[in-house]
A and B are shown apart, each in its own frame.
Chain A
Amino acid sequence: MPRIRILKSEIALCFDRFLIDAEDDFFPDPLRYKDLRLVRDQIVNETQRTLRATMNQNKITYTTKHHYPWYVPKENFVIREGCSFHPYDTMVFHFILNRLLPIIEPKLSKSRYSYRIKNTKSKKLFGYNPTENWITFKNDMRDYFANNPDYQFMVSTDIAGFFEYIPITIFKKRLLQMSSQNESQSIELLSFMLKEYSSSKYSGMPQNCDPFSYLCTAFLDF
């Protein structure tokens, strides 16, 4: 297996993305991790060391840090599992996403409005006003029906327990189908970590983390 290179600059980008991700955490850190900037280099070095060791194993193993499957209310008094992650694990998720973005982005449908990447190199993955996608979603629908009067009906639907029921094996299989050998270790690591986080061990994507918001929404496009 060729040795996988992991550059410090890539991990530093993941660190910055983690800090931005933490701003809208379901479980906000009291100081929004701003103290971590003081030891940015140490954290980056530590993560780089861990990832180099992990990604260059024949069989991927990774010990996830302590996490909490805390529940967050949804509409109509239903609850969903909103994982509270350790900063190191979140940085690893951002690393995996960074490796997968070049293969996923070109394959995505224009009909998908959520979590569109503005710039794959940017710290702010989803732009400065991520909710503008929602506005575009509504505006495009409004325009479509206004300009096409022969379309007289709209099907409105959504997927039951979407995040909770995404099957990890199918998710991994689809990612592997669309990627090359270069990304296989990242996909193995992702799948390994997903099983660690899943209470059922075979389905469910963690919520409360930008990489998963992106990957889950892209899953329907794979």
Chain B
Amino acid sequence: MRPFFLSVHSLSRFLDKELEAESLIHFRYVDDIKVACKTENDAKKAIIQIIQTLRTANLNLSTAKTDIIPVGSDKFKNLLKEFPPLLRDIDNAVHNKQKRTINYLYPKLVSYTKQVMKQKQQDFDERLFRACIWRIVKINYFKNIDRIDLVSIGKKCLKLLYSMPSRTNTLLRFLVLHKNRIYVQDALYELLKDAVYPWQEMLIWYLLIQSDKIKNPDILTLAKRRVRDAGYHEAARNYIYIFLGKHGDYQDRTYMANLFPHTQSFRAQRSILISIQEYQDRNTIYNSITRSNSDPILLSLVQYIKQLSTPEYVDIDKNIASDIAFS
């Protein structure tokens, strides 16, 4: 490394270029920056260099996430830890559609996942856990795979919805496997009753739409109340429309159909049009759009719905990238 000095930065030479100019070996993934240093003092100087460069663009480092990590320490090993070979073997088997190998590895994966989730809270490797459950979901999309009891993993996912709301998407992708089970519906109802994050609530309704039958009647009562609350957060409400379109009754569908002419929001309009597919007077609304509305986006939805032989409420993407949980 060159002798350390505080350089004057031009606007045209920013972080990566600046670090390269200082011969600092660095690796960056979005805003996650790692710098290799020979000594602790070099590391301190590198931090100063990064801060000074970022300040030229009114940016700063996150104090809580900045650290100097000795090579070989537990933290260092943990940071660069590789996933176990079992996950790679599964990825290969899934990619090559080798059902016999998948059937051989699948019980090992489930058992490994259960081990991971039994780790104490401070040691719990949530990234590894997500990597495991993504693969379980992926395997379950295959036909003729031996079924294994996954309830304990499902219960863990339900608990994590409280402590890791940012991972709701992954956790619910797993819980879709048990979308018709009462233990999932009961736990989701508890979460919905006092939902903190509209985004999380929206995804829960998205899962419940996929259920074939709602076994917890309280969920329906809650949906009916929330859909009639005009001030309720739109992110969740749009999905409640669709939920009630599928699982609700004639009154719910009439309510939503009557709401449509007064709805301005593009997403809410789409949700209502999807929700009234089984409403007996749906064509009155659909035809009004065909005739009078020139927005091709609404027209396309009506055109699409009209050609369906059975109602379709959500489109499920089964093409899960098996490596997605690495990020």
Please list the residues of chain A having a beta carbon within 8 angstroms of any beta carbon in chain B.
Answer: 23, 26-32, 34-39, 42-43, 46, 65-66, 68, 70-75, 77, 79, 82, 84, 86-87, 108-109, 111-115, 128-135, 137-138, 140-142, 144-145, 148, 150-160, 162, 165-167, 170, 173-174, 177-178, 203, 213, 216-217, 219-222
Contact = CB atoms under 8 A, between A and B. Distances in A.
B80 A142 contact: yes
Interface string B205-244: 0100100000000000000000000000011000100100
Contacts of B128: none
5 contacts: A38-B303, A138-B80, A154-B43, A162-B59, A173-B11
Interface residues of B, number: 88
B317 interface: yes
Interface in B132-190: 164-166, 168
A79 B235 CA distance: 15
A158 B31 contact: yes
B234 A153 contact: no
B71 A39 contact: no
The A contact surface, by secondary structure, is mixed
B34 A154 contact: yes
B25 A144 contact: yes
A27 B67 contact: no
Given A111-B19, A170-B57, A72 B296 contact: no
Contact of B47 (A109, A142, A157, A167): A157
B26 A111 contact: yes
B57 A166 contact: yes
Contact of B62 (A39, A137, A159): A159
A39 B166 contact: no
Interface in B288-327: 296-297, 299-301, 303-305, 312-315, 317, 321, 323-324, 326-327
